[in-house]
Structure 1
């Protein structure tokens, strides 16, 4: 199915990447990790372990929504990208309608990020409280709703955030019982995810969210069928009534796959979640859910679990399936109403249509059955209409607006939300908003700029609303942009399409001059004369900044008349010059260009001015980031060794690569220290995190290790002393480390390790093995930790490789696979010189544009004698 944004409808997701195996339309029984249900609920049957991660998440969301009295909920789960959360499951709302909120970085000013970052729950009882604490949330979702956000943690593991949306309670905080129930559910989910992780499931979500239908409250029965589902064996025994409803002639028993194959994925996940919940409840539990049948109609499923832990029947789920016909046949009473009425469930699927709707839309009921609203009525995919639908699904207040299906009369649309969905009333307008009867063309306009604006769709109510809607998307995208280049790219992708622009230029202020930072769409070299222009120049890009007022020119003729002698390009279109001012501080100016003349409505001028403020704030933040990044890089360059000691019997080579995400600098380091007794100390370490703080902590640890080593301390004392120092400093970080002291004459070595990857050893025959070093916990965690020492020998011609996990770790593979790749690569270097060997080992990482972590590598080769080295 196609969603309102043109992509695949998230309710039919068939793959969720590294979060686990790709779910089919009917997840079936499979042995594997995650067989145990949430702690406190008893073990779940083995037959319920299929696609365990999404099912566990769906179950938890259903429980949380019920516990908090909500109408929707979801789970944000950590992804393979550090600091990035992804929406994994969304219940009670169509996920495709909420695409801008699928990704959430932990540094963003939103309650989901705050709960994950701080580890503390966030409760927002109404829109006023949300506006006070999280204004960007209200700016992006300006509807009255309450929300609860509970971090999902287990020990030191931060898995994500559990979210519930519900009706607001103005002036009343979320009460203690609701907070307690949500907290208990988050703890239960944390235990379940911990069990999955222990069983080998990667508890991450890098893909699109799974939609889950919530149980419904009502539905008149037409036909009914019954079944028994043995949860231990996965077999289903169905009566004739159920077989007739599902169109299945084959007698039962069936496998559970035969039952779920007739369901769409969002219903399948809900059914599995209910089954897990019922099976783990320890007593009878009844649930009701609406399922989409093979004929497209909706059926009401009621399931009851009666676990018999030691009985001959095992765990049995009994159920009844109520056929609601197509779910769309209105009664005589509604068909006689002079209004077109249809209804959707909370996932946006059409559940009801009366006769007047068929007549108005020219579509029979059977073509609308079970379809998403924006698929059946494509004009509902318009951003303005999406916004109205989001408002109805998030609030309990009716919404009214005008819409134009693309032909015929305008429609007055009313949305009436309820617990289980939204009822829509469509009324044709006798005259359109301009007072013209249906079918009459536009009144001719003398102003060509207005005609161009109308052609862009910006003079219609929908077009103006779309332009007003765009700040939401731009604000969300700007909050994720880090560098000035990323900010400029976001403006290009979001701002230009919204207003039909073709050219964009961004100038940044530095020492009272404007310098071109970004351009697109202008003729090559056209903007060069304006690069570096001073603030005393009489050009619109300067005067919009110095005056603080945006300048709009509906044609190049207007621009040329206002600024005689100003070089103009070949385009005849309009221009908008926007001042970029953040909190009263000038940042630069932005130029928008259009291919044709056009007018700027009052709404558009207001929106563009507001957007310029957002852009300025993002650019100012990016400039601070660039300054801090330069400081961090300089700090790191100063702290890493510029050359390593030269020793007669041992050659050492080090390499460092920064990550390509975040600050681009981290806490990885290496060092080679020549002690007073003629031995060499080989050190490699990795401080958690990135940026100035990580680099500063790295410098402190490197200095501490060097001081302990030069003081003649034994390896275990060096690592233990460094651990205590890091705890005393308390920078809120921890680090791993590997410390090896080597005697160049004998090749004897003593090594201590603190949570760091094991080194590799390449022998003279080319074989390469991992060195098994005893180890202790990472530095900075336990002040009483001990670090045992392992003795080893480095023979003549052998190479020892120390490395950080950035060289071997990839988001989509196990770290052991990365170590094995490095081992094979080291073995394949043969007799190559040590610097060439180091370059070959990091070649693939150096060429990659996506390095989540920084990389350090230290190689040590013992040659023994000059003859052997030659």
Structure 2
């Protein structure tokens, strides 16, 4: 005991003049103290004091013995039964919560109801037994007060075991956190900064988190976050952002958005970066103007280490003289380490996000085609949550005979694999549609392709084939959302179309067709679930909202309608939106078809049909003569070089006549480079090219179609 120590041989030994002793209180008043002794000439320095204060600050005070039973509790103690949720609390705790003894019902929920909602998860992790293990607990949390800002409290407790080793009781103390630390050394502030930085996806997100965590609590006038790139400091975040709030030398070097400067232009800052430790300069310190004007009342420079190198620096400045508390350096050092690591992660995030985003942008249409009798607009918004982008896509595919296919889909997953598969599915659907297959066959082919790829991913899809001449449409859905129609009178309708399973799920899947009739002025909206579904909005409510907003929109400006529909969209998932307004064709094409039989007079019959049709269409004689030559050559080539059926199609749109011959061979006709004067063949394609305005080949289901366009004069 003390008497034995006093009588010991070393008790009378005279201490060295360099010997120093430090005594620091721990916990609430009377809880105990921390004693430190050692050889420190001139006493403990600032760094040593900061270290000791931080140690004393984090020492867990033993729970009072009186709190471990059901007897009378000290004023600052509590005892919580984990089975019943009943809690016994001391009078001091009730005063902190602003509850009178007579008004407390003994339920832990009553105290939790006074807690700031953002801090409830941390508290619940302590009081929910399913997530606990035996041992000590310590955390800081905030409670709401009748007036003024929330108050910070500190809980220190111990879980006591019951039967089967499960926690039976939580006992401990609750104290006003402001009595245990000064306002600027808030450990919880570092915890909150760490939580914010953990979710920061970009460099700007990191900067915003640092400003929110440090500027207001430290009462700083300005904060700058700069990255070190090739021995230059590139400022990425300034708060406040106005140039007038920063030194004159900074304004003179202002770039397009933020300033940058070589490190050697600021020797003091360069020395701080080389040292790798937080540096503090009080008011009146001799600094170069580029730094001195940042904080005339005090300046803190925080080097930001990351991955074995210096990522940058954070500058914090005060206009009025600022007294740096002893433990402020420890706080700033901890924040600097967190910020440096966050910057490293943010750069990796930005690089990968840009790579995947570029991949997806190259896989989506650069622009939508001009359509006969309709206007289409599309929008795509990548998700803002997390790193990866998803597999949402859209497409508009012009087809033969004034048909247009509108496609929207969503591949499962949010990664580069989903984006790549999206591009493959878009290409496949476009190829199958261009071959002339019906909508259900197009989707069925895409389903079989995805199954054969064995990717373990599935995709949803909506495919709408619209005949622009008549307004007739056919819709096929593969696990995707229903289209939403806005009728010309302003009413909206969520189409109750039949649908099949998602692509890549079932081998023998069926995809039923739903016919539609579009009147001029009808708007069709195709979208993915990111626009209408989120964690707080179910799918039906989201579809109803989309229908209401579409009804209130002005369809005359379809681009503005698309932008309005995306306003306020939850960005937890990527969003694709495709809008089409059907206007109807002002001039409908004239069409005729002739099946060419394989008989000796087949070419003559085709010419006779062509002459009769073009005269009925009242085309000039020279155009009829050119058309007869083209039909003779194309039909002859099909009969001579292919087998199977041959079909002749003619269409007239305005002054342009198209002649097309379809056959069963996939091989395109070869245009000869040269023909000898004695050759008996090979001149057909040369003649077609000579008399037509344009010609080409289109792959179709079961073969190809060779076409040629003639344009009337005038």
Please indicate, yes or no, whether the TM-score normalized by the shorter chain is above 0.5.
yes
The equivalent residue for 2:210 is 491
The equivalent residue for 1:351 is 88
Cα deviation, residue 775, structure 1? 1.2
**Deviation by residue 1:45-99 (Cα, 9 ceiling, x = unmatched):** xxxxxxxxxxxxxxxxxxxxxxxxxxxxxxxxxxxxxxxxxxxxxxxxxxxxxxx
Does 1:718 find its partner at 2:446?
no
The 5-angstrom pairing of residues 740-759 of structure 1 reads: 740-759=464-483
Distance in 2 of aligned mates of 1:784 and 1:637: 33
**Deviation by residue 1:785-825 (Cα, 9 ceiling, x = unmatched):** 33222334445554444333344446544433443444455
Cα deviation, residue 707, structure 1? 1.6
Distance in 2 of aligned mates of 1:748 and 1:757: 21
Distance in 1 of aligned mates of 2:207 and 2:532: 34
Distance in 2 of aligned mates of 1:719 and 1:426: 64
Does 1:370 find its partner at 2:110?
no
Cα deviation, residue 676, structure 1? 4.9
**Deviation by residue 1:129-163 (Cα, 9 ceiling, x = unmatched):** xxxxxxxxxxxx999xxxxxxxxxxxxxxxxxxxx
1:537 to 254, 259, 265: 265
The 5-angstrom pairing of residues 74-473 of structure 1 reads: 342-346=77-81, 350-351=87-88, 366=102, 370=106, 396-397=134-135, 417-418=159-160, 419-424=167-172, 462-463=181-182, 466-473=185-192
The equivalent residue for 1:477 is 196
Cα deviation, residue 345, structure 1? 0.9
Distance in 1 of aligned mates of 2:156 and 2:76: 10
Distance in 2 of aligned mates of 1:374 and 1:749: 61
1:598 to 323, 329, 353: 323
Q: How many residues align?
A: 485
Instruction: Report if the CA contact (8 A) 1:665-1:854 is conserved.
Output: no
Partner SS, residue 505 of structure 1: strand
The equivalent residue for 1:260 is none
1:746–1:352: structure 2 CA closer, same or farther, 3 Å change rule? closer
1:763–1:496: structure 2 CA closer, same or farther, 3 Å change rule? closer
Instruction: Report if the CA contact (8 A) 1:539-1:566 is conserved.
Output: no
Distance in 2 of aligned mates of 1:540 and 1:390: 47
Distance in 2 of aligned mates of 1:582 and 1:391: 36
Cα deviation, residue 552, structure 1? 1.7
Instruction: Report if the CA contact (8 A) 1:556-1:568 is conserved.
Output: no
Distance in 2 of aligned mates of 1:508 and 1:464: 29
Instruction: Report if the CA contact (8 A) 1:743-1:749 is conserved.
Output: yes
2:310 to 576, 586, 592: 586
Instruction: Report if the CA contact (8 A) 1:660-1:853 is conserved.
Output: yes
1:666–1:364: structure 2 CA closer, same or farther, 3 Å change rule? closer
Does 1:654 find its partner at 2:377?
yes
Partner SS, residue 739 of structure 1: strand
The equivalent residue for 1:552 is 279
Distance in 2 of aligned mates of 1:741 and 1:567: 66
Instruction: Report if the CA contact (8 A) 1:482-1:625 is conserved.
Output: yes
2:237 to 518, 522, 543: 518
Distance in 2 of aligned mates of 1:357 and 1:757: 54
Partner SS, residue 866 of structure 1: coil
Cα deviation, residue 421, structure 1? 3.0
Cα deviation, residue 636, structure 1? 3.3
Instruction: Report if the CA contact (8 A) 1:826-1:841 is conserved.
Output: no
**Deviation by residue 1:756-800 (Cα, 9 ceiling, x = unmatched):** 122234555555434333211122333443322233444555444
Cα deviation, residue 400, structure 1? 11
Instruction: Report if the CA contact (8 A) 2:184-2:218 is conserved.
Output: no
Distance in 2 of aligned mates of 1:341 and 1:516: 48
Distance in 1 of aligned mates of 2:270 and 2:343: 17
Distance in 1 of aligned mates of 2:360 and 2:463: 20
The equivalent residue for 1:856 is 577
**Deviation by residue 1:376-407 (Cα, 9 ceiling, x = unmatched):** 9x99xxx9xx99x9699966446899xxxxxx
The TM-score with structure 1 as length reference comes to 0.47
**Deviation by residue 1:180-235 (Cα, 9 ceiling, x = unmatched):** xxxxxxxxxxxxxxxxxxxxxxxxxxxxxxxxxxxxxxxxxxxxxxxxxxxxxxxx
The equivalent residue for 1:448 is none
Distance in 2 of aligned mates of 1:771 and 1:398: 59
1:375–1:742: structure 2 CA closer, same or farther, 3 Å change rule? closer
The TM-score with structure 2 as length reference comes to 0.56
**Deviation by residue 1:635-654 (Cα, 9 ceiling, x = unmatched):** 33333223333344x32312
Distance in 2 of aligned mates of 1:365 and 1:819: 52
1:815–1:673: structure 2 CA closer, same or farther, 3 Å change rule? same
Distance in 1 of aligned mates of 2:586 and 2:194: 65
1:504 to 185, 209, 223: 223
1:349–1:555: structure 2 CA closer, same or farther, 3 Å change rule? farther
1:720–1:582: structure 2 CA closer, same or farther, 3 Å change rule? farther
1:790–1:395: structure 2 CA closer, same or farther, 3 Å change rule? closer
Cα deviation, residue 533, structure 1? 0.9
1:466–1:699: structure 2 CA closer, same or farther, 3 Å change rule? same
The 5-angstrom pairing of residues 834-849 of structure 1 reads: 836-846=557-567
The equivalent residue for 1:696 is 420
Distance in 2 of aligned mates of 1:619 and 1:373: 40
The 5-angstrom pairing of residues 754-833 of structure 1 reads: 754-763=478-487, 767-795=491-519, 798-809=522-533, 811-827=535-551, 832-833=555-556
Distance in 2 of aligned mates of 1:675 and 1:519: 53
Instruction: Report if the CA contact (8 A) 2:311-2:343 is conserved.
Output: yes
Higher-Rg structure is: 2
Distance in 2 of aligned mates of 1:652 and 1:426: 66
Does 1:866 find its partner at 2:616?
no
Moved more, 623-632 or 391-400: 391-400
1:849–1:748: structure 2 CA closer, same or farther, 3 Å change rule? closer
1:532–1:353: structure 2 CA closer, same or farther, 3 Å change rule? closer
Distance in 1 of aligned mates of 2:314 and 2:299: 10
Larger RCO (CA under 8 A, 6+ residues apart): 1
The equivalent residue for 1:687 is 411
Distance in 2 of aligned mates of 1:513 and 1:764: 60
The equivalent residue for 1:623 is 347
CA RMSD of aligned residues (A): 5.0
Instruction: Report if the CA contact (8 A) 2:75-2:93 is conserved.
Output: yes
Cα deviation, residue 506, structure 1? 0.4
